[in-house]
Amino acid sequence: MPPTEPTPWHATTILCVRKGDAVVIAGDGQVSMGDTVVKANACKIRRLGDGRILAGFAGATADAFTLFERLEAKLERHAGQLTRACVELAKDWRTDRYLRRLEALMAVADRSASLMVSGTGDVLEPDDGLIGIGSGGNYALAAARALIDIDGLDAEAVARKAMAVAANICVYTNESVSVEKLDPE
């Protein structure tokens, strides 16, 4: 009998919403192993760069922490320039033998840019300021696109409603949502 593969961890819906001068990143709290929920209130969002940058991750937790540390170092090296730091991180992630094995995606944002960073060397800035990653990311992204133009809904309200939609569709997403917000200056 062939060796069994380790059980994959499914654990995330991360949504970045930029509306007006505000930007938020929301993440659900569920961590699953196979068909078992092992944690319901994990926090998958961090503030970086002295609190001026929001970052959320989808993928293996230890890998994400490694990437957060590397991004923090790139931000220090490049004077807080988010896009430049992300491009440098993506270069390292793609070419470094150790980093290439990391399995995660990141959504990062500051007051001027929202970016998705991947291990394939991609640093993508969406046209509409919305990013959805993780197992429920596409559901949350679709819901956010439907809600973004509704008057009276700010970035946080759009994110919370979109995350609720994802939680009702994706079995790897729950309603324990964390939200971090950058207000206009």
What pTM, to 2 d.p., does this model score? 0.90
Say yes or no to pLDDT of 71 above 70: yes
Predicted confidence (pLDDT) per residue in 135-163, tens digit: 999 999 999 999 999 999 999 999 999 99
Residues 6+ apart with CB under 8 A from 29: 39, 40, 41, 42, 43, 44, 174, 176, 177, 178
Question: What per-residue confidence (pLDDT) applies to 9?
Answer: 44
Active-site residues: which are they?
Answer: 12
- Per residue in 89-114, pLDDT tens? 988 877 776 666 667 789 999 999 99
Token pair listed for 106:
């990141």
* Mean pLDDT (the chain, rounded): 88
What domains appear along the chain, each with residue ranges and CATH number? 9-173 (3.60.20.10)
